[in-house]
Structure 1
Amino acid sequence: MSAAPVRGTAAGSLVAQRILGVDPGLTRCGFAVVEMRPDRTGASVAVEVAGTRSEQDLAERILAIQRAAERLLDVHAPDVLAIERVFAQNNAPTVVGTAQASGVVIAAAAARGIPVAWHTPSEVKAAVTDDGAAAKDAVARMVQRILRLDELPKPVDATDAYAVAICHAWRSGVGTRHDMSAGTRTHQGARTAAQQAAARQPREATPAQRAWAEAERRAADGRSSPGAPGVSRGRRAR
């Protein structure tokens, strides 16, 4: 009989973590509980999409999302909750509903002392597929591969919840030999593949920066020459 997976915390970078990933939404809120291992593989523990109807009273809809989150938190006791950060859109009602769903889920985790981490959609895609602009089907295929699922995860809300959990595991240091626990509350530094490539290119100074550098060089040369007039550091040429 195999031993039960080692339960870790958000600060343990060399042990398995149980993560509740959330793709927030008021009409459909995706939840996925995964066990992420140090070898950068994982397993699905539970997945579901909590749905509400637009004709329902708003208070009832928010309460339904809250109760779904509370049940999953109590049953599966994750080490950390990872949630997709609200993404600004032109559709204001959708943004408001997503924010409302996010709020009650975050509050449910906080009430249980479970740390919360936020990840932007581009961070999630970049972490799972190495492309911050990856299509939904590409994310689904990678989630299936990483978690060794028998079939592609469905619906998209479940896929995104899985992806958020995987993103957090890899960003927080599961399977690495360093501890990134200090950064598990928020993750704003993830870069897409294109951004990483751009960062590797030597940065070229702007014309204004080059002009200022040349002026400073000339000033330094003038100060080093005997009898040359000094240049005041307190004033810049206009």
Structure 2
Amino acid sequence: MRILGIDPGYAIVGFGFIDKNGSRLTPVQYGSIQTEAHTDPSQRLKDIYESVVHLIDKYQPEALAIEKLFFNRNVTTAMTVAEARGVTILAAVQKGLPVAEYTPMQVKQAIVGYGKAEKKQVQEMTRMFLNLAQVPKPDDVADALAIAICHAHSSTLTDKINGVLGR
């Protein structure tokens, strides 16, 4: 199964494709979509949408995993991230991909085993899971890979439960 993990953002969207074969996880491609500051907001959203569509067409994932929006004190930032997240989900749905959403705590739990783990711990475990020489930069890219790994682990658990229940 090929999974596309997305760490949504307005200036930087982290993405990471991984392949899951049994319990083995292999990185396929990862990087970031970056939009230019001082560009019309509508154009930035269009650029994100078109870039996600291009990545889906090129790498043919079977699922998209995306981080749920975390509201902090800056509501303006949260709104722009929500818009970027929306066009990303739209691209996936239009391409027929199932979309799974995970909170930051769920991702940390899946990667480190502790929902309140430090960001550096998550990044290092992501590097180790994927046998990478170094933690991908910027942080958004490492986060996207962690989200993809979280989905891989979650889908494995779902498969086991369905097997036991005979679904």
TM range (shorter): over 0.9
* C-alpha separation in 1, matches of 2:161 and 2:3: 19
* C-alpha separation in 2, matches of 1:88 and 1:130: 23
Higher CA-based Rg: 1
* C-alpha separation in 2, matches of 1:105 and 1:161: 13
Amino acid at match of 1:97: T
Per the alignment, residue 223 of structure 1 pairs with none
* Aligned-CA RMSD value: 1.5
Check if 1:151 corresponds to 2:131: no
Q: CA deviation at 1:37?
A: 2.5
Per the alignment, residue 26 of structure 2 pairs with 43
What is the TM-score when the length of structure 2 is the normalising length? 0.93
Which runs of 4 or more aligned residues in structure 1 lie more than 6 Å from their structure 2 counterparts after TM superposition?
Answer: none
Higher relative contact order, chain-length normalized (CA < 8 Å, sep 6+): 2
Unaligned runs of 5+ in 1: 1-16, 181-238
Within the candidate set 95, 119, 135, 2:102 is matched to: 119
* C-alpha separation in 2, matches of 1:45 and 1:172: 18
Amino acid at match of 2:135: L
Check if 1:110 corresponds to 2:88: no
Q: Deviations over 1:10-43 (max 9, x none)?
A: xxxxxxx10000000001110100012312x311
Q: CA deviation at 1:176?
A: 5.7
- CA 1:175–1:46: 2 relative to 1, 3 Å: farther
Per the alignment, residue 235 of structure 1 pairs with none
Within the candidate set 138, 142, 146, 1:163 is matched to: 146
* C-alpha separation in 2, matches of 1:68 and 1:132: 31
Within the candidate set 5, 9, 14, 1:30 is matched to: 14
* C-alpha separation in 2, matches of 1:45 and 1:179: 28
What is the TM-score when the length of structure 1 is the normalising length? 0.66
Check if 1:139 corresponds to 2:122: yes
- CA 1:75–1:174: 2 relative to 1, 3 Å: farther
Aligned pairs, number: 163
Unaligned runs of 5+ in 2: none
Aligned-pair identity (%): 37
Per the alignment, residue 3 of structure 2 pairs with 19
Specify which structure has the higher proportion of strand: 2
Asked whether the equivalents of residues 38 and 176 of structure 1 are also in contact (C-alpha less than 8 Å), the reply is no
Amino acid at match of 1:168: H
